[in-house]
Chain A
Amino acid sequence: MKLIIAIIQPHKLEEVKQELYNAGVNLLTVNEVLGHGRQKGITEIYRGVRESGNLLRKIRLEIAVNDDFVDPTIKAVMKGAQTGETGDGKIFVLPMEECIRIRTNEKGTAAIG
C-alpha cells in the first residue's frame, strides 16, 4: 500500500482527474495549498508596496493505492499535469502502514478500493 501525494497546477486538476478515472483510480482527496518550488513565487503590489516571493496556488492530491495501482496512478498524474514548464509540481510516493474503512472496520488492501 502506498500513499501518493501530488502537487499540481490548479488549472490541471480537471485533466488529472480525468486521467485518474481513465486509469481506474476513483478515490482521491484534494486540497488547495500554497507553495513554490524553483520558480520562486510571484510578485504582488499593494498600494505601492511590492511583495516578492509570494506563494503560488497549488493543488495537492492525496491518493491511497494498492501496490499494483502505484504506476498507473503516477502515469495518470504525469499525463494530466505535465506542461514542461517550471511549476508543474511534484509527486511523492510514501509507504502506508495501514488503511481502515470506518464504515465496515475493513483493514488493509480491502479497505482501499
Chain B
Amino acid sequence: MTIPFYFDADLAPRCRRRGAAKKRLKQKVYRSPVGGAVEDHFSRNSHCFRRKHEGIPNSGRKTMKRFLLFVFLFIVCISSFLFGADAAATPVAANSGDISWMLISSALVLLMTPGLAFFYGGLVKRKNILGILMQCFMAMAVISLQWVLFGYSLSFAPGNGFIGGLSYVGLNHVGMEPCPFAPNIPHQAFVIFQMMFAIITPALIIGAFAERMKFSAYLLFSILWATLVYNPLCHWVWGGGWLAQMGVADFAGGIVVHISAGFAALVMALAIGKRRNHTLVPTPHNLPFTVLGAGLLWFGWFGFNAGSALGANNVAISAFLSTNTAAAAAALTWAIIEWITMGKPTMLGTATGAVAGLATVTPASGYIGIWGAMAIGASTSLVCYFAVSALKPKFNYDDTLDAFGVHGIGGLWGTIMTGLFASKLINPSGPNGLFSGNPKQLLVQIFGALAAVVYTVTVTFVLYKLVDLMIGVRVDDKKEVLGLDVSEHNERAYTLIE
C-alpha cells in the first residue's frame, strides 16, 4: 500500500542524499567553498535544489578547486550511501520532536473551527450570530465523539477501496504503537490530528445554509454527512482507498476537506432555497469579527498544512512557507482586483482572498515551492472572485457566506494546480506535476477531484432529502424573521439596553 501523501521524516532526506548529492555539492561549493559542517545542513536543505533549478551559475572555475571539489564530492557520495544504508536498517521510531509538532498542529487546527465561527458569524445578521457559533461549536462536540467512536475506523482502518473497516471502532487496537500511516508518531497522535480535520469540514458547509436551517436538522445532517461523505472520502484519498492507489495527491485536504465541504455547500444552498427577503447585497453585522476569524484561520492553517507533513521535518517547513506565501498573494490579489474593478480595496475582500488562498494551497502545500505558491495564491483570487461576484449572481443561488465560491472553487482549483506545480524536488515522497515533466499527474488530479465532486453532490443531496423528510431542514418563516438566536436557542448575542 503506497500512500503518496504521507511523508516519512527520516527516509526522505536519505533519498535526496542518494539521488542528488552530486548536484547539491556543486551548489555548496558555490555558496561556501569549505567546511564539512555545512554538509549536513545542505543535504537536509531542499532550497539548494531550487537554486540549482533556477539556473544560478556555478562559480567554481579554477582547476584546483574543481579537483578538490571532485574528491570531496566522491567522499560525500560514498559516505551518504553508507549513511543511507544505515538509516534504512533502523526503523523510524516515534520521537518527541515529531510528537510535539503533531500535538501542537492538532491544537492549531482545532482553533480553526471557532475561527471559522467568527469568520462566518461576523457576516450574518446579528440576530443569527449565535446560531452560527453554536453550529460550529457543536461540530467540535459531536464530530469529536463520532470520530473516536467510529469515524476514525471508517476513514483509516484497513478495509476496501471505498471505506475503512470496523477494526478501529472505539479506538480499539489504536494505542501508542507506531502509526501505520506515519511510523514516527504514535497511532493516537495521528487520530487526534485527523480528528480536527473531520471537525472543521462539516463546519465549513454552514456558510451555505446560514440564517435559515433548523439546529436539530443541522445536527442530524452533520453526523450523517461526516459518516457517509467525509469518512469515505478521507479513506479514498488518505486511508489507502482507490484514489490513493491511483496516485491522487492531496497534501492537506483540497479534495477531502475543501471540495467535499464546498460542493456539499452548493447542494445545500440550492436545496434549502434562498433566505426570505434575500438580496444580493450581503448584510455583515460585524466585519471585525470576520477579520478576527480570518486571522485565526490563517494562524491555524499552519497546523493544517505544515502539520500534514506528519512530523517536524523539511516538508513541514516547506508547507508552512507555501501556505503563508499563497495566503499573502491571494489576499493582495483580491484587494487589487477590487481596487481596479470597484474603485476601493475592502477589508472583507482582503480577508476573503486570504482564506481562499489558504483553501486553495492546501492540497499543494507540501509539494510546491514559493513560485508555485504565489501562482496558486494569485490565480485563486481571480477564480474565486469571479465565482463569488459573477457566477453566484448569474445563477442566483443563495450560498449565504460563499462556502462554495471560496472552498469549493478553491479546493477544485488547488487540486488541479497540484497536478501542475508538484515537484519531487520539494517533497521526494510526493508526485511530480506537469511542470516537472509528469503530465499524467494533472489528469489524475482532475479525475480525483471530479470523482469527489460527483460523490459529494450525490450523497449530500440524498442526505438533505432524508433529513428533510425526517425532521424538516428549514425553520419556518416566523422563526427566520425573529432570528435563529432567539428562535432556535432562546438567547440573544447583543443587548440594546443594558
Partners in one complex: yes
Q: Quick check: is A14 within 8 A (CB to CB) of the other chain? A: yes
Contact of B496 among A11, A34, A45, A85 (CB under 8 A): A34
Contacting pair A45 B491 (CB below 8 A): yes
C-alpha gap A44/B489 in the complex (Å): 8
Closest A residue to B480 using CB positions: A11
* Count of CB-CB pairs between chains A and B under 8 Å: 26
Q: Quick check: is A96 within 8 A (CB to CB) of the other chain? A: no
Contacting pair B478 A44 (CB below 8 A): no
Q: Quick check: is B340 within 8 A (CB to CB) of the other chain? A: no
Contacting pair B478 A45 (CB below 8 A): no
C-alpha gap A75/B492 in the complex (Å): 33
Assess A32 versus B492: contact at CB under 8 Å? Given A9-B481, A11-B277. no
Contacting pair B481 A32 (CB below 8 A): no
Q: Quick check: is B486 within 8 A (CB to CB) of the other chain? A: yes
B174-185 contact mask (Cβ, 8 Å, vs A): 1 or 0 = 000000000000
C-alpha gap A43/B488 in the complex (Å): 11
CB B281 to nearest CB in A, in angstroms, measures 10
B480-494 contact mask (Cβ, 8 Å, vs A): 1 or 0 = 011000100011100
Interface size class of B (residues with CB under 8 A): 10 to 19
Q: Quick check: is B89 within 8 A (CB to CB) of the other chain? A: no
Contacting pair B478 A42 (CB below 8 A): no
Contacting pair A85 B478 (CB below 8 A): yes
Chain B residues, CB < 8 A from A43: 490
Chain B residues, CB < 8 A from A15: 277
Chain A residues, CB < 8 A from B276: 11
C-alpha gap A84/B386 in the complex (Å): 41
Interface positions, chain A 42-57, Cβ under 8 Å from B, are: 42-46, 57
Interface positions, chain B 270-287, Cβ under 8 Å from A, are: 276-277, 279
Contacting pair B496 A44 (CB below 8 A): no
Chain B residues with a Cβ under 8 A of chain A = 127, 276-277, 279, 478, 481-482, 486, 490-492, 496-497
Chain A residues with a Cβ under 8 A of chain B = 9-11, 14-15, 32-34, 42-46, 57, 85
